[in-house]
Structure 1
Amino acid sequence: MKNIIFTILKIFIILFFLIFILEEYFVIKEYKNDEKLIDENKKIDYVIVLGARVYDDKPSKSLVERIKTANEFLHENEAAKVIATGGKGVNEKVTEASVIKRELLKLGIANERIILEDKSRNTVQNFEFSLEKIKKDNPEKNKRNILIVTNDYHIFRAKNIAKSLGYEKEGYKFYGLPAKTPLISIPKSHFREFLSNIKFFILSKK
């Protein structure tokens, strides 16, 4: 009986790691492909910076990387506007969006280029509310290329969430620009994201 249990457990562990490796392949492939498209001078109209944890009023290391990545792109692409997203989470004194905006202003991004979305509580709402802001800012709907800035492990699911909301049918195109993941956060972030991707895949099939 013990041998059977051990064999089943071993098979389960092997399958788990195979699925994890496959998921990581798609995660990396997604943002690598987008990096090539952006390098080919794909015109971006709006940049959405997804919110992340704030400690009191200080950005977490992950959010710092997102802000740095967005700032570099915005300085190189001065026609693009940016949506700073994220409401106020548990134990956060200020909204994530306000922290993103504050830091971008410090880095020299003009106030008129920054659109605040400070009501969302999760990634789905980040996109729902941000796209409402974009439609309001651009009622003619002639600017439709949107760049998502988040940490590298999160690009794959973030883009899938954005696509699942149906905006591609209206002509919106989504691209991802990966920010670095702080070294200390890599194991936890990738494992948590793996579980989130599995959950998203299962729910999307229902």
Structure 2
Amino acid sequence: MRNVSAQPRPILRLVRRLFVGFVLVSLLVVGGTAFRVWQVARIDDREHADVVVVLGAAQYAGKPSKVLEARLRKAKSLYEEGVASYVVTGGGRRAGDRFTEAEAGRTWLVNQGVPRDRVIDVGEGNDTLGTIRAVATEVKRRGWESAVIVSDPWHSLRARTMAHDAGLEAWTSPTHSGPIVQTRETQARYIFRETAALLYYRATNASADGIALDGEVG
């Protein structure tokens, strides 16, 4: 007599195959996204644009954090090279702050020699998505449409994706200095977090605040 119990049931085989397929597809999606985060982080596009956009990061009583200062130095360099005629600083204020991230960025740039009338501060947004949407609204209101986005390398793909969705023609010129790019361990950690944040945004069209440490990453 044949032992029926030894034969896997058809429904069980189907469930196993579906599970294995789901795992494989998930790994491909996550791995492919992580590779794109790493790949775009290596692109330094200095093609002429209407504006250079500096995404905000932490500031302390109007003084940029090291993360934000690295972004501002890169933006100043791009402005001086003629990549764009204007610099837009973005970022709102946290609870208890006297200054917005945008104001801190504007003050730093002006103190470093960038003409005041060439710096536009947009003090809205407490995460990447909110900042980019506010910046895009202001940029388009002035009749412009293209932007070079300055942020940290691993943040570049997510920022560029959000800028495109907000109606800007955008490319990236990331920083290559500052605490976020100092060690391989730090780089790997931020690549992982940016991969999760980008997948979350693509799935929900919402901010991944808390997943990608937006207070520091932008």
Verify same fold: TM over 0.5.
Answer: yes
User: Are the structure 2 counterparts of residues 20 and 61 from structure 1 closer, same or farther at C-alpha, using a change threshold of 3 Å?
Assistant: farther
Q: 3-state DSSP class of the match of 1:72?
A: helix
Number of the residue aligned with 1:47: 52
Report the structure number with the largest CA radius of gyration. Answer: 2
Q: Output the amino acid matched with 1:26.
A: R
State the Cα RMSD in Å. 2.8
Is 1:29 aligned with 2:39? yes
Q: Measure the CA separation in 2 of the matches of 1:131 and 1:194.
A: 27
User: Are the structure 2 counterparts of residues 193 and 29 from structure 1 closer, same or farther at C-alpha, using a change threshold of 3 Å?
Assistant: closer
Number of the residue aligned with 1:151: 152
User: Does the Cα contact within 8 Å between 1:97 and 1:117 map onto a contact in 2?
Assistant: yes
Identity %: 22
CA offset at residue 201 of structure 1? 1.4
**How does 1:74-153 map onto structure 2 within 5 Å?**
74-77=79-82, 79-138=84-143, 143-153=144-154
Number of the residue aligned with 2:16: none
User: Are the structure 2 counterparts of residues 58 and 189 from structure 1 closer, same or farther at C-alpha, using a change threshold of 3 Å?
Assistant: farther
User: Are the structure 2 counterparts of residues 17 and 93 from structure 1 closer, same or farther at C-alpha, using a change threshold of 3 Å?
Assistant: farther
* Residue correspondences, number: 177
CA offset at residue 121 of structure 1? 1.3
Q: Output the amino acid matched with 1:27.
A: V
Q: Which residues of structure 1 form unaligned runs of 5+?
A: 1-15
User: Are the structure 2 counterparts of residues 181 and 197 from structure 1 closer, same or farther at C-alpha, using a change threshold of 3 Å?
Assistant: farther
Q: Output the amino acid matched with 1:101.
A: R
Number of the residue aligned with 2:74: 69
CA offset at residue 23 of structure 1? 4.6
CA offset at residue 74 of structure 1? 0.4
Q: Measure the CA separation in 1 of the matches of 2:201 and 2:162.
A: 12
Number of the residue aligned with 1:198: 196
CA offset at residue 53 of structure 1? 0.7
User: Does the Cα contact within 8 Å between 1:49 and 1:70 map onto a contact in 2?
Assistant: yes
Q: Measure the CA separation in 2 of the matches of 1:191 and 1:205.
A: 21
Moved more, 112-121 or 178-187: 178-187
Number of the residue aligned with 1:180: 176
Q: Measure the CA separation in 1 of the matches of 2:177 and 2:78.
A: 17
CA offset at residue 76 of structure 1? 1.1
Q: Which residues of structure 2 form unaligned runs of 5+?
A: 1-25, 205-218
CA offset at residue 132 of structure 1? 1.4
User: Does the Cα contact within 8 Å between 2:42 and 2:153 map onto a contact in 1?
Assistant: no
User: Does the Cα contact within 8 Å between 2:70 and 2:175 map onto a contact in 1?
Assistant: yes
CA offset at residue 88 of structure 1? 0.8
